[in-house]
Chains A and B, each alone.
Chain A
Amino acid sequence: MAKRIDVKDLDIYYGSFRAVEGVTMSIEPRSITALIGPSGCGKSTFLRSLNRMHEVIPGARVSGSVILDGQDLYGAGVDPVSVRRHVGMVFQRPNPFPTMSIYENVVAGMRLNGRGTRKAAMDEVVEGALQGANLWNEVKDRLDRPGSSLSGGQQQRLCIARAIAVKPDVLLMDEPCSALDPISTLAIEDLMDQLKKDYTIVIVTHNMQQAARVSDRTGFFNIAGTGQPGKLIEMDETSTMFSTPSNQATEDYISGRFG
């Protein structure tokens, strides 16, 4: 399932404003890639460009290419809707569908796409996804309760279950733990470690300890000043990035001298 992503010379624009400039990176399958950097440096924008979610904002466009196992996501005739079926996403704030139960939330990806199947098959998917998200034991007796009845950390794991229920190749996570307490954060981090066996995971985080704990590779984004585009400054093995970064700005950021 897990696929490799190669980004080449990616510029991202909102209207005439260039938000991200010249990003080239490869994201390895079955690994966790962390993106760090100060606020407004374009790392979330970059993450969202990996499944064309940034296009939800009117006027957003890109130049350059994002290759998912040989297919350019921005190639002619590529439908963003089918891109998102292959590249799933988990957001900063847990956002289960309020009108749906826990069960319905997990199968939302299929049901909403009109691909609802037999009950037995659905049950299997629900159990598999919830177990994959480490939530099954906590909710198996109350699958018909609303998703919003869960705690914040459980809701976020429900969102992860919802994302992996459609069997994507890549899982993007946009600060998935920033609205959670340390215990729930730990649960999600453990989960990411398990998920990387099957998925390519890209995570944006403000928490450098988190990046150091969970990721295999780390990319550092920075911005020269307000109104300037964000750039990928440096990308390397996480251990290298946090011990001997080659760029001064990276070292300053990681050691807490700014940002």
Chain B
Amino acid sequence: MTTTTTPTDLTAAEASLSQGRLPRWSTPATVAAVVVLGALAILVLDAPVPLVVGLGVLALLVALPALAWVVEGRRRANDRMWTVLVTIAFALALLPLLSLMITVTQNGLARFDWEFLTTDMRGVLGEGGGALHAIVGTLIITGLATVISVPVGIMTAVYLVEYGRGRLARAITLLVDVMTGIPSIVAGLFAFALFSIFFGPSVRFGIGGAVALSVLMIPVVVRSVEEMLKLVPNELREASYALGVSQWRTIVRVVLPTAAAGIATGVTLAIARVIGETAPLLIITGSTNILNTDPVDGRMSSLPIFTYYSYTIPGVPPEFGVERAWAAALTLFLIVMLLNLVARVLSRIFGSPTSR
């Protein structure tokens, strides 16, 4: 075994197991070069910024793979190209979010103060006032929507994953899919129509908003819980059955706890999804300037609607209303961020003891 044979149709480079490698600094260096060139073009030649950014991205898309092709070979060049493409896609997806965060924070901080968080709009015409009524309204309506949706959603998912077979299960899955696509305004109209039957026309109260939001929230909860339950290994169910544990107890004591982390995350994200809904609440909860903590009696404000009216009907002079609108947007934004953080923490807490 002392001789090595090289098939003649392989070049020396292909036969060798090692290829040239670009140094680690080559990618940052290329990016830096493109950025510097772009900056020069803008400052010296006074070129339009979008054109320069577009050309710069194109240049990177060509330069990095080309460089890799020459030094490292085809596979690596391919890898570079896709890395650049994915990074650009990531930046594109992130830009609106960052821009939103910055704009809302900049404009919202002006009125995001103690007064804003602790007073309502009773008797406020110009300066001052706050969104307490809207914050409380949002928390009550979303809280009630959660109380309605989570049990229904989890039980539906349990049925679909653990029990459902045949036509009924397929029909429910289809209905859940259809529900996912319901426009939120239709959910509002549904709640309005439903409660109009019992309480006459022009009914407005918080619980109606909670029902409307539930219509939007239930399919999200069902879907996420369903996925989480499917992830629970069948072996755990069998282990439990083999101990003489009934199916129901197995679901409650083994399957749900095992999936708890994912369920908690899914529920929190579902809440975050509906907390900013405006259209259905516009119809069924209406809007008010004073604090109302009773969800079954009278109009109830909420942050999205407060934002909407503060911006569209800011009053005279308009700047105070607009400032309140931005502050309310910031408040809503912070609540959603907080919910996402809570989801993270919950999935830590409920995670299997191995991950602790």
Contact = CB atoms under 8 A, between A and B. Distances in A.
A56 B238 CA distance: 8
Nearest to A84: B244
Contacts of B236: 95, 97-98
A98 B250 contact: no
A83 B246 CA distance: 11
A97 B243 contact: no
B245 to A, nearest CB: 4
Contacts of A93: 235
Contacts of B254: 97, 99, 112
A163 B243 contact: yes
B240 to A, nearest CB: 6
A24 to B, nearest CB: 25
B353 A84 contact: no
Contact of B243 (A114, A149, A166): A166
B235 A91 contact: yes
A85 B352 contact: no
Contact of A84 (B243, B258, B352, B354): B243
Contacts of A111: 253
A82 interface: yes
Given A99-B352, A101-B353, A81 B238 contact: no
- Best-buried of B233, B235, B236, B241 by chain A (most CB within 10 Å): B241
B242 A51 contact: yes
A53 B238 CA distance: 8
Interface residues of B, number: 24
B244 A53 contact: no
A108 interface: yes
Given A97-B254, A97-B258, A114-B249, A82 B165 contact: no
A168 B33 CA distance: 74
A81 B235 contact: no
B348 interface: no
Interface in B298-356: 352-354
Contacts of A149: 354
B239 interface: yes
Contacts of B257: 99
A154 to B, nearest CB: 14
B352 A98 contact: yes
Interface string A85-122: 11011010101111111000000110111100000000
Contacts of B76: none
A98 B239 contact: no
A225 interface: no
Contact of B240 (A86, A88, A101, A108): A108
Given A53-B241, A84-B241, A109-B243, A98 B165 contact: no
Contacts of A56: 237-238, 241
Nearest to B261: A99
A58 B165 contact: yes
A210 interface: no
A148 B244 contact: no
Contacts of A89: 238, 242
A162 interface: yes
B243 A98 contact: no
A166 B241 CA distance: 12
A54 to B, nearest CB: 11
Contacts of B258: 97-99
B83 to A, nearest CB: 36
A146 interface: yes
Given A98-B352, A99-B352, A146-B354, A113 B245 contact: yes
Contacts of A125: none
Interface of B: 165, 233, 235-246, 249-250, 253-254, 257-258, 260, 352-354
Nearest first, the 8 closest Cβ-Cβ pairs linking A and B are A85-B244, A146-B353, A89-B242, A109-B243, A95-B235, A84-B244, A98-B352, A112-B245
19 contacts: A53-B241, A53-B242, A56-B238, A56-B241, A81-B241, A82-B244, A89-B238, A95-B236, A95-B239, A97-B236, A97-B258, A98-B354, A99-B353, A101-B353, A108-B243, A109-B244, A111-B253, A112-B250, A113-B244
Given A53-B238, A83-B244, A112-B250, 13 more contacts: A84-B241, A91-B239, A91-B242, A95-B233, A96-B239, A97-B236, A97-B254, A98-B354, A109-B243, A109-B244, A113-B249, A163-B242, A163-B243
